[in-house]
Amino acid sequence: MEKENFESPLELVHLNTSGPRPTSQFDLIEDGKKIGMLQLRHTLSGKSDAMPEGFESNVYYEIESEYQHSGYGKKILTLGLDEARKIGLTEVILTCYEDNIPSQKIIEANGGVVINNQLDKEGAMVRLYKINLGK
């Protein structure tokens, strides 16, 4: 069951920003426990061996298995979008495999719109999403 109100405050803790394509790394913390992590690339990720051509993204997130399906995914992406606005991004691009329904719901709940579908190098369908962040 998805949480809407969290009992304890959630913190998105900035760990570092590094790499040739600057990437900010964050942990989602609740009561001192790591719930998940998010990477925010300040520019698109560049080519990937696994993804279809042109399927570059700004955001990657994951939630620890024991906390999945509890609303944390939606929350970490919402907080990550706030961070994207702080660095001046006006939109972000995300990828999601078609069979990953929970992630699709998280992205769409945060305003994500499918802009492309394509098979990856292994033959699995991948969705490319865009989220407009406004000004």
Q: For residue 97, give the 3-state DSSP assignment.
A: strand
| Predicted model pTM | 0.88
Sheet holding 91-97: strands in order across?
A: 91-97, 125-132, 113-119
- What pLDDT digit, counting tens, does each position of 28-61 carry? 999 999 999 999 999 887 776 667 777 888 999 9
Domains of the chain and any CATH numbers: 10-132 (3.40.630.30)
The DSSP H or E segment spanning 130 is: strand 125-132
Residue 1 pLDDT class (50, 70, 90 cuts): very low
Instruction: List the structure tokens of 85.
Output: 């606005």
Residue-averaged pLDDT of the chain: 89
CA distance 1 to 56: 31
- What pLDDT digit, counting tens, does each position of 17-33 carry? 777 778 999 999 999 99
